[in-house]
Amino acid sequence: MFEKVLFPTDFSEYAQKNLECIGEIPGVKEVLLLHVVDATYPSKRGWRHGPHTENANIRLEEQREHLESLGLKARAKVDVITSGDVPLTILDTANEENVSLIVLGARGKGIIGSRLLGGVSTNVMRHAKTNVLTMRYKFTESLDGRPLEKFCQRIFSKVLLPTDFSKPSMDALSFMRDMEGIHEVVLEHVVSRGETEEEIEASVSEAKKKLEDIGQEFSSKGIIAKTHVHVGDPPVEINSAAEEEDVSLIAMSRHGKGWFREMLVGSTTYDVVRNAKRPVLIVKTK
């Protein structure tokens, strides 16, 4: 399903945790490790990026060996740029290598707050022409106070699938229905418009019937399917449902209804990713 994966890294602790999850991605066979050295501006000691590049090569080689020990084919690449920017370099590499998935951390070394989406991740997510998996982690503490990582094992085991019944979102559902490794899905629709109570109730009733039909399609594949219809703001309700259902992943299309009015990634998808506490897969659709 995702045979060739691009994994950009800044070597932060957060990026290292993402690397540990690569083996959980369905169908992965090859991983391209990428670190971009930004030489478009001088460092504190002047135009000296050689040590940084040498260190990056060493660290990527260690990561490459780790992935190969898991039975994956892996390559490592350090790209030194003197013009452009890091997100553009990642996107160019993804296009040149024809990868099927880009795996991003929601934050890196430049973190300001745990719920903010990093600038590199934001730009890659919004411009990518392929599937993008943005990782998030929820931490709990052990008895001695050390953080325990919760979301790494079986990322695709229980998936929240929001849909507005548009063509792109239905294509994303079809894509996920054929994916291996999914045990359970939660189908979610949010009614966000309605002039009267009667109109809202009619929309809720219609949505429930559509979700039930979609749920039967997943059930025919041996996947447990639950359905939810909520009323409110879509990004808020989607992330709330993800928490209530304790899903391992949110998967949704880049665009929904009115996609022709939205540049790049649709506003609902972007807002979900920006505020999610779970990994989010943005599915490329036609």
**For 102-111, what is each residue's pLDDT tens digit?**
999 876 444 3
| Model confidence band, residue 42 (pLDDT cutoffs 50, 70, 90) | low
Q: C-alpha distances in angstroms, 97 versus 6, 62, 196?
A: 9, 22, 51
Do the Cβ atoms of 23 and 72 come closer than 8 Å?
Answer: yes
Cα 233 to Cα 111, 159, 264, 277, distances in angstroms = 27, 20, 21, 17
Range with the poorest average pLDDT among 21-35, 124-138, 171-185, 220-234: 124-138
Assign residue 98 a region: left if phi > 0, alpha if psi is -120 to 50, beta otherwise? Answer: left
Domain boundaries, the chain: 4-149, 158-278
pTM: 0.87
- Tell me the average pLDDT across 1-9: 94
* Predicted confidence band of residue 47 (pLDDT cuts 50, 70, 90): low
Going by pLDDT thresholds of 50, 70 and 90, the confidence category of residue 62 is very high
State the Cα–Cα distance between residues 131 and 126, nearest whole angstrom: 11
- pLDDT at position 20 is 83
3.40.50.620, 1.10.10.1100, 3.40.50.10860, 3.40.50.1820: CATH of 4-149:
3.40.50.620
Confidence of residue 126 (pLDDT cuts 50, 70, 90): confident
| Topology adopted by domain 158-278 | Rossmann fold (3.40.50)
Per-residue pLDDT band for 24 (boundaries 50, 70, 90) equals confident
Sheet strands (E) in 30-182? 30-38, 73-81, 101-105, 131-135, 139-141, 147-149, 158-162
What does the DSSP 8-state code read for residue 43?
Answer: B
pLDDT band at residue 40, thresholds of 50, 70 and 90?
confident
pLDDT, position 110: 45
Residue 283 β-bridge partners: 253
User: What's the pLDDT score for residue 114?
Assistant: 40
Question: pLDDT value at position 146?
Answer: 53
Of 127-136, 236-245, 258-267, give the range with the top mean pLDDT.
Answer: 236-245
Res. 138: pLDDT tops 80: no
Residue 222 makes CB contacts below 8 A (sequence gap 6+) with none
Compute the mean pLDDT over every residue in the chain, rounded to the nearest whole number: 85
Q: Do 4-149 and 158-278 share a fold?
A: yes
